[in-house]
A and B are shown apart, each in its own frame.
Chain A
Amino acid sequence: MAVLTFPGGIHPPEMKELSQSAPLERMPLPKMVYCFVHQNLGAPPKILCEPGDTVKTGQIIAEPSGKVSVPLHAPVTGTVKEIIKMMHPAQKKKLDVIVIERTAKDEWQLMPSMDFTTAGREELYQRVLDAGIVGLGGAAFPTHVKYTSTLVKPADLVIINGAECEPYLTIDHRFMLEKGEEVLNGLQILMKLAGAKKGIIGIETNKPDAIENMRKMASHDDHIDVVGVKTKYPQGAEKQLIYTTTRRKVPVGGLPIDIGVVMNNVGTAVATSQAVTKGIPLVERGVTITGEGINNPKNVLVRIGTPVSELIQYAGGYKGEPEKVVAGGPMTGPALSSTETPVMKSTSGILVLPKPEKQPRPAKPCINCNQCVEVCPMALEPNFLVKLCEAKKYDEAVEMNLFSCIECGACAYICPARIDHVKTYQLAKRVYSTLKGRK
């Protein structure tokens, strides 16, 4: 049988070999942590602390404001120094950062641990919210929101996304190898929360050891399938992996839950497991430090708020002169303007790319070669869409399903004319939304 997959997509160099065999290491606690208040998609939480306050590890320092919002917890034990503004890599503007100076070893403020088999679904829901858990694959969408409607109408399926289709990144791979039990436990908790009878873990076949390990872990649970999926970008995009593993299509403008599915990332499952069974809020995450521009690529567990410069130092510093440092994978991750930027809940990797041997060619006009049409996983026509957006014909672009675009970057990757599709779409979406007054 052919390996399961979705239509479209690309095969960029995988580059996983740089870091895939580096075991997880816990980084030493930083002296100073810088916590962006706005770490989740949706509304930023409201700051609860002020300079001079002493905080314990795991203590809430900002409370959720609104339905799509999560609390933020102090990642270390120490004193709140100040609240400053820093350039937010995703929002592209200066936003509030709580600066905490670590003064002592960790003094934890934990939530009571729970037994998920006996806990009610509302209790689990509340715990996921209270622990500040967001999608750790990179989008940082508040996890509990995905389950809000399942409390009323249960889902039939929870999928754990272990595709890790972004080149370079290996943190989910390491989690599945070294924290397989927690991944499985997280899935079981999320299945209970969703009221789902079935669970799937989808893993690209370039990680055979992860597939094998997760199969072994899940062998005693008949409700959970571990599925190998074709190595192809963007296999780990939500709608694509759902289609690959279930042949169900999320309707245009709809959500996975519309077809009875909830999907979470491997890291999110681990965080959920820790929040429920141990009462630990989300203060630490896994990060792959990699790229040809770094000396010793690593997979680390790091406190949120640690400056990226410390991660780079921990991984042996730059190899040669860096061209850019990317937060996340090379296909979708934002390039950082400064290495003072801290690790956030959304930071799945720190990718250091060295200066290329020769400067890339400048962009050329589109020659309608159709490669973007062939690779678009959403079956859009990027060649037309980008021209409409450039001509500021936003209404027509929206009619051609601009908002179906998942910004995976496959079109821009494959484009022989080096057209910046994604940048153009992002701008067009923002302008259109602003003009129409919708979010």
Chain B
Amino acid sequence: MAQIFPSASAPHIRTSDSISKIMLDVLIALVPAVIVSVFVFGWSALVLCLMGVIVAEALELFIMKVLRKKKDFIPDGSAAVTGLLLAMNLPAGFPWYLFIIGILVAIGLGKHVYGGLGSNPFNPALVGRVFLVISFPAAMSNYYKPGIWKTLESLSTAASPVVTGATPMGLLKESGLQSALQNHTYMDMFLGNIGGALGEVSALALIIGFVYLLVRKHVSWHIPVAYIGTVLIISSVFYLINPDQYGTPLYHLLGGGLMLGALFMATDMVTSPSTVKGSLIYGMGCGIITMLIRIVGALPEGVAFSILIMNAVKPLIDRWTRRRPFGALKKEAK
């Protein structure tokens, strides 16, 4: 009764975890932020988010099947994450045709020219965002005035009032802390009742989503804590120098894209370091560059650029922070 079997290599059991499950969890983690953006900016926010997911996935399918001729490609949801994250980086009411250009750049130039999933050195969504910021600065800074709760009535009447309002970080740069705080309270900033990109306004929604990822063990706390901690320390120092010009640490924490960047962009698995030590260095680097741009630079916000710069440094950090194998002698450490 001898029976012949095809060859197979150990291990013969595998976890049921998969890349598409991870990506689905990231999408789920972003849902609270999407919901808040609809409350704050109206239905157009949801349209942008859905468009990001659908167009990005369709584009990736086209690139893989037609251009790269990978016949057995099965969509894994990573493009949807990129599309949604890019949408979260846009102001409400952003023109749809420019958004499509942004997705083309994010998925095409940010990801597939490097070889696709897992091979991109830069966070594709941030590549898309920075491209849009540089190419279409006016459209990218045309922020809706937030209308949390007030827009509840107008949700049913389809159109949101198109009134432009500056972001907290923009207000701080223009007119200082005192006058900025006349437009909104810290509670507004925490809940999301402020101007800004779709996904960045509500710290609360982002934290809820991140806790979900932590519970599902898809992320570790090291990068966000190092990133946010560094921002808090540097902003505290500058707060002591001149509170009105530089703002409070809390303002820096809640006022811009820091939460979205630290919790969802800097933690992108592909473009962040592997080791604990590397993650801490990487997070600190993001924090330092963010604060340099916010305080010294001409732009009000620096989260996207700081993460892209640290993406570029990531391979170097990996080299610096090689793990010592189990049983390595101290003097042999490299």
Chain A residues near B (Cβ < 8 Å)? 7, 12-13, 167, 239, 243, 249-252, 254, 307, 309, 312-313, 322-326, 330-340, 351, 353, 360-362, 364-371, 373, 377-381, 383-384, 400-401, 404, 409, 412-418, 420, 422-423, 426
Contacts and interface: CB of A to CB of B under 8 A. Distances in A.
Given A367-B19, A368-B270, A401-B325, A423 B13 contact: no
B11 A412 contact: yes
17 contacts: A12-B13, A252-B327, A254-B327, A309-B3, A324-B5, A324-B8, A338-B5, A339-B1, A365-B116, A367-B270, A368-B118, A370-B269, A373-B275, A373-B323, A381-B274, A381-B275, A404-B327
User: Top 5 A-B pairs ranked by shortest CB distance?
Assistant: A365-B118, A409-B11, A340-B2, A423-B9, A335-B8
Contacts, number: 162
Interface in B241-297: 269-272, 274-275
Contacts of A378: 325-327
Contacts of A364: 18-19, 76, 117-118
B332 interface: yes
B318 interface: yes
Given A322-B3, A361-B18, A365-B118, A384 B318 contact: yes
A416 B19 contact: yes
A353 B3 CA distance: 14
A278 to B, nearest CB: 34
A373 B269 CA distance: 13
Of residues B11, B22, B323, which shows the largest number of chain A Cβ atoms within 10 Å of its Cβ?
B11
A400 B324 CA distance: 9
B150 interface: no
Given A335-B8, A337-B7, A340-B2, A383 B119 contact: no
Interface in B1-59: 1-15, 17-19, 21-22
A228 B329 CA distance: 28
B218 interface: yes
A417 B19 contact: yes
A300 B1 CA distance: 20
A254 to B, nearest CB: 7
Given A336-B5, A369-B22, A416-B18, A383 B274 contact: yes
A409 B15 CA distance: 12
Contacts of B72: 362
B326 A416 contact: no
A409 B8 CA distance: 14
A322 B1 CA distance: 13
B332 A252 contact: yes
Interface string B86-129: 00000000000000000000000000000011110000000000
Contacts of A243: 326
A251 B331 CA distance: 12
A128 to B, nearest CB: 27
A402 B12 CA distance: 22
Interface of B: 1-15, 17-19, 21-22, 72, 74, 76, 78, 116-119, 218, 220, 269-272, 274-275, 318, 322-329, 332
A367 B325 contact: no
Nearest to B318: A384
Contacts of A423: 9
A413 B14 contact: yes
B12 A333 contact: yes
A251 B9 contact: no
Contacts of A371: 17
Given A365-B116, A366-B118, A331 B10 contact: yes
A420 B9 contact: yes
Nearest to B8: A335
Contact of A335 (B9, B18, B271): B9
B323 to A, nearest CB: 5
A309 B117 CA distance: 44
A313 B1 contact: yes
Contacts of A417: 18-19, 118
Contacts of A367: 19, 22, 78, 117-118, 269-270
Contacts of B329: 251-252
A337 B2 CA distance: 10
A418 to B, nearest CB: 6
Contacts of B15: 12, 413-416
B24 to A, nearest CB: 12
A361 B294 CA distance: 45
Of residues B5, B18, B332, which shows the largest number of chain A Cβ atoms within 10 Å of its Cβ?
B5
A13 B16 CA distance: 11
A202 B12 CA distance: 26
Contacts of B116: 365
Given A254-B327, A380-B325, A335 B7 contact: yes
A326 B118 contact: no
Contacts of A331: 10-13
B276 to A, nearest CB: 9
Given A322-B3, A364-B117, A366-B118, 17 more contacts: A12-B15, A243-B326, A312-B1, A322-B5, A324-B5, A324-B12, A330-B13, A335-B8, A351-B12, A365-B117, A367-B118, A367-B270, A377-B326, A378-B326, A413-B13, A417-B18, A422-B9
Contacts of A353: 12
Nearest to A310: B1
B12 to A, nearest CB: 4
Given A12-B13, A335-B7, A422-B9, A404 B325 contact: yes
A417 B22 CA distance: 10
Contacts of B18: 361, 364, 416-418
Nearest to A414: B15
A418 B14 contact: yes
A7 B324 CA distance: 13
A338 B19 contact: no
Contact of A337 (B4, B14, B327): B4
A365 B11 contact: no
B12 A368 contact: no
Contacts of B218: 369
A326 B12 contact: yes
Contacts of B332: 252
A413 B11 CA distance: 7
B117 A369 contact: no
A251 B327 contact: yes
Nearest to A409: B11
Contacts of B5: 322-325, 335-338
A324 B12 CA distance: 9
B11 A380 contact: no
Nearest to B118: A365
A369 B328 CA distance: 25
